[in-house]
């Protein structure tokens, strides 16, 4: 549920509008500003993306962590998963993060540029990497 409270102050010589945002973790993205720093990926957005990616065959678990403007996405898959499928799961997970998070949702075949840098790791339960990729905020897709 998205909610914003707009506070408007009218002065004799000036009209000022200040956007006030609720402080809850309801899934409403917190926009970047000089006072708040980089965008924050809410726990609600993380949970929605994780729940969705875990619904795919061979996906056992997933995690998302954020360090300012950098997101680390990890997907644990069954050992024996092909590199192609692993990359598809990494791409899908990044798309879900963009869809549920504060960035513009992907359209078409590209994930799209945005506000975050992505590091994507897909590995099997024995900690064996199957696919590693990165997407700079200005890049439209993950470079595997």
Q: What is the total count of domains within the chain?
A: 1
Give the tens place of pLDDT for each residue, 56-90. Answer: 999 999 999 999 999 999 999 999 999 999 999 99
25 is a domain residue: no
- Angle between helical axes of 83-100 and 43-53 (0-180°, round to 10): 150
Query: The CATH number of the domain where 66 resides is what?
Result: 3.30.300.30
Is the pLDDT at 19 greater than 50, yes or no?
Answer: no
Report the candidate in 128, 100, 98 with the shortest Cα–Cα distance to residue 115. 98
Domain-located, residue 64: yes
Strands 70-77 and 59-67: antiparallel
What pTM did the predictor assign?
0.75
> Does residue 24 fall inside a structural domain?
no
How far apart are the C-alpha atoms of 68 and 137, rounded to whole Å?
Answer: 13
**Given pLDDT bands bounded at 50, 70 and 90, which one contains residue 97?**
very high
At 18, is the pLDDT very low, low, confident or very high (cuts 50, 70, 90)? very low
In a domain, 99, yes or no: yes
């Amino acid at each position: 549920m998205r909610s914003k409270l707009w506070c408007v102050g009218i002065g004799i010589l000036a009209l000022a509008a200040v956007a006030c945002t609720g402080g809850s973790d309801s899934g409403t993205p917190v926009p970047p500003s000089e006072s708040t720093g980089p965008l924050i990926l809410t726990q609600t957005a993380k949970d929605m993306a994780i729940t969705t990616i875990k619904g795919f065959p061979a996906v056992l678990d997933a995690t998302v962590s954020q360090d300012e403007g950098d997101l680390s996405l990890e997907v644990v898959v069954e050992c024996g998963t092909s590199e192609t499928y692993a990359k598809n799961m990494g791409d899908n997970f990044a798309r879900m993060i963009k869809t549920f998070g504060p960035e513009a949702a992907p359209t078409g075949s590209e994930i799209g540029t945005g506000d975050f840098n992505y590091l994507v790791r897909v590995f099997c339960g024995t900690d064996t990497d199957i696919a590693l990729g990165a997407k700079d905020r200005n890049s439209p897709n993950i470079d595997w």
